[in-house]
Amino acid sequence: MIDLDAARAARREADKKGPVIRLEGVEYELAVEMPIGVLDGFRQLTQADTAPAALSTIAEALLGEHYEALSMAGLSVDDLNVLIEGILSEYGVDNPPPLQTS
């Protein structure tokens, strides 16, 4: 049996908290583990017709419940690039695919 509940509990105990983003003095704590929805955005990066939406898809998956609040703070595309690369690094992704969509 593969017990994902036990594996998740062990990872949560080891990690304790997710990455924290600070914007305009407000801190936003993200999920302890990287959401699987991030993979959809990476798939979009490889397809010319969906690449422009990829950054938004990745950001939405990574930011979860904080996506709308951070979007309302006026994030630019350059901010999203920095944010996504930083979050992926916090999750231990050493060599993410390039995020430029042009």
Per-residue pLDDT tens digits for 73-94: 888 878 888 888 889 888 888 7
CA distance 61 to 23: 18
Which is nearest to 18 in space by CA: 37, 36, 31? Answer: 31
Given a cut of 60, whether residue 101 has pLDDT beyond it is no
pTM, two decimals, is: 0.74
| Model pLDDT, residue 64 | 93
